[in-house]
Structure 1
């Protein structure tokens, strides 16, 4: 999936919340935002791998 598609999904008000959240997470990670900061910004828990 390319950046444009992720940006479209992140803005899609009719999309399932989980899909919007994932798109936002991927976009933030691509910008180099650390996982803990992404979790705080998006409002989810950071995975414990």
Structure 2
């Protein structure tokens, strides 16, 4: 299942779930610039 699409250097990278789980909290917002290793979402 697709969790998010992250754009980097004009390329879109699709983040997909590797296993079942529940998203607890999304810390990033649409259009936000992210730093290396910055948290995007948390899981239960």
TM-score after normalising by structure 2: 0.22
- Greater RCO (Cα-Cα under 8 Å, separation 6 or more): 2
Q: TM-score, normalised by structure 1?
A: 0.21
